[in-house]
Amino acid sequence: MGNKTARMLLGLGGCAAALMMLISTAQAQKYPERPVRLVVPYPSGASSNDILARQVAPRLADRWGHNVVVDNRSGASGNIGAELVARSPADGYTLLYGTGGLFSIGPHLYTKLAYDPQKDLAPVALIAIVPYLLVINASLPVKNLEEFIAYAKARPGKLSFASSGVGGTPHLCVEMLKMMAGIDLLHVPYKGGAPAVVDTIGGQTQAYCAGLAATMPHVRSGKLRALGVTTLKRSAGAPEVPTLDEQGLKGFDVNSWGAIFVPSQTPKRVIESLHTAIAAVMNTDAMRNILVKQGMDPVLLGPQALAAHIKVESANWAKVVRTAGIKLE
């Protein structure tokens, strides 16, 4: 083959590559061109995660002019739905509503996962933080965190705390408290948050750590006593409650969060388009008010910031899981 022919073929190859890039760019710019599926890996109506997803979906649909269908695929602590998205085509038409439990905690708890959350899924946007509240039975003779810690230290292993299940954030929240405060509390896991709240109110267990939406109404009614918010900053949903950090447990930072993810090979331009649309939806007074009413704090992070956030959280939870000796199949 002569040099002239070779140069011609190379030129044609370059043109073809440029044409494919233009087509890819045009497709990304027109995204989406059909309905989008938002997979929520938890039961319908069962949590703030599903509630928020169902607030975001129609607003994205209005912006795009295409339906956004919420698809609840619950099971295995969210891993069934997450794996489904991880194995879906990387075209931006299957999204995951992901949480800290899936990305920062799960990989340290489960001995076997059929997918890798941090490798098989790409972050798009963190859209909300769910602050937790440490509460106790109102009959306990303590009024604040310092008194509770002293009370527990005087009764090692005598006080119990409820959780919505082994390995969940409510469980690990108190494991972190035990580790940082140097106290010994007995773990009583329940099948869900509702019975955990009921038994803490009734005194069968003495402490519980969960989202504001599940706990704050009972604090305001006097059935539970709040010891502190578990995030570094006070929550917009309970500004009168001090954080555990400001009461002496420096660096105590526990929360859940909601974020949007896509399969890891999704084109960067599609991810950028998605983030722009989500940011426009979340940066409205209407959405901010909805979040606060649901016990969430409005926080928006982009792909890189969310990835960094997960990395820091993952390292922190690895230490807690290891110290507590928790492993799930």
Predicted confidence at residue 23, as pLDDT, reads 47
Q: Is the pLDDT of residue 47 over 70?
A: yes
State whether residue 203 is helix, strand or coil: coil
Q: Is the pLDDT of residue 29 over 90?
A: no
Predicted confidence at residue 328, as pLDDT, reads 86
Q: Which of 26-40, 49-63, 119-133, 301-315 has the lowest mean pLDDT?
A: 26-40
Domains of the chain (ranges; CATH) run 35-129+255-324 (3.40.190.150), 131-229 (3.40.190.10)
DSSP structure class, residue 182: T
The predicted model gives 66-87 an average pLDDT of 94
Q: Using a pLDDT cut of 90, give the percent of the chain over it.
A: 81
At 11, the pLDDT band (50, 70, 90 cuts) reads low
d(CA 95, CA 285): 24
Higher pLDDT, 220 or 10: 220
Predicted confidence at residue 232, as pLDDT, reads 95
Phi/psi zone of residue 74: left (φ > 0), alpha (ψ -120 to 50 degrees), beta? Answer: beta
Question: Tens digit of pLDDT for each residue in 134-161?
Answer: 999 999 999 999 999 999 999 999 999 9
The predicted model gives 74-93 an average pLDDT of 95
Angstrom CA distances, 37 to 141, 257, 269, stand at 50, 20, 19
Please state the φ and ψ torsions of residue 297, each to the nearest 5 degrees: -110, 130
Predicted confidence at residue 24, as pLDDT, reads 46
d(CA 229, CA 185): 19
State whether residue 197 is helix, strand or coil: helix
Q: Is the pLDDT of residue 6 over 80?
A: no
Mean pLDDT of the chain: 91
CA dihedral 273, 274, 277, 282 (to 10 degrees): -140
The predicted model gives 23-40 an average pLDDT of 78
Whether residue 303 contacts residue 271, with contact meaning beta carbons closer than 8 Å, is answered with yes
Whether residue 274 contacts residue 90, with contact meaning beta carbons closer than 8 Å, is answered with no
Angstrom CA distances, 236 to 32, 37, 51, 294, stand at 34, 31, 18, 11
Predicted confidence at residue 274, as pLDDT, reads 97
